[in-house]
Amino acid sequence: MDQFLAARTEFSRARLSRWLKHGHILVNDRSRPASYRVRSGDRVSLTVPPAEPSSLAPEALPLDILYEDQDLILVNKPPGLVVHPAPGHRGGTLLNALLHHCPELAAMGDLSRPGLVHRLDRDTSGVLVAAKTAQAQAHLVRQFQDRTVEKIYLALVWGRFDRRAGKIEQEVGRHPTARQKMSVHPRRGKPAVTCWRVLREYPGPLTLLELSPKTGRTHQLRVHLAALGHPIVGDATYGGGAARLKGNPSLKNLRPWVQRQLLHARTLTIRHPRTGSPLTGEARLPEDFAAILEYLQQLEEKF
């Protein structure tokens, strides 16, 4: 039922599932679960409940805005900023900043994450899009679900590659024992595809990659690269932590600079929900990542 209605309305499956649960959607005048299979002749009625204002607090935090109009906003998220409130991070998030900049988000009816259609890890920087209307949100959610969104990341990883480009196709799911991590050997995983291309090689050895994920699994790029034997520099969770630098004479001076995984969402291309035209946001590298690449370039010139 939720799939049936999502394909015929501007509302997301998550919102429709909530409305089904609370009796706002009836099939032949009866409540049905989201799993109900629609049959020929069914009469489906939907009563849109009044929007409840979000209880999230707007906060006047700085935003690096790449593009904005009446339907959506593209921002460059800095490293270290959590995208939305969660246990341990009740405030000071990107969503709190968006609610201050775009007060209309509070009336969208999504109490937990109004306007958000995807996320980046706290320590990953780069382009993120948020919707400013329910219609735009539903349209963007569908693009992510249909995998028509084009994403390009930059990552500095450990090691050298024997090819200039390739593709990783391994399922990603919750780690079977470490529940805060993801794994390519889960009990139950989902298909995940990442394309990669070598941009530059540095002493260390380290390699700068361009990554194009074709799916959007949690920690997908970090897990795939670790499984390939090339974890992202600074990613202690998946084997690429800064501790590896101290044993490398040419890289030990980098250790104070590497405080996170060096992963950056450089570009994001969507179809505009109103016009259907392609729209690309491009985010410059944050200062820490750019400084590290500059240091590595200087180091390379010495050899």
Catalytic residue positions? 121
Q: What does DSSP say about strands 165-169 and 25-27: parallel, antiparallel, or unpaired?
A: unpaired
Long-range Cβ contacts of 14-23 (<8 Å, 24+ apart): 15/109, 15/110, 19/46, 19/48, 19/49, 22/49
Alpha helices in 162-246 (DSSP H): 220-227
Angle, CA 281 vertex, CA 279 and CA 285 arms, to 5°: 165
- Please report where in the chains the tokens 């990107």 appear, as a residue: 94
* Nearest by Cα to 290 from 268, 270, 265, 262: 262
Residues contacting residue 257 through CB under 8 Å, at least 6 positions apart = 288, 291, 292, 295
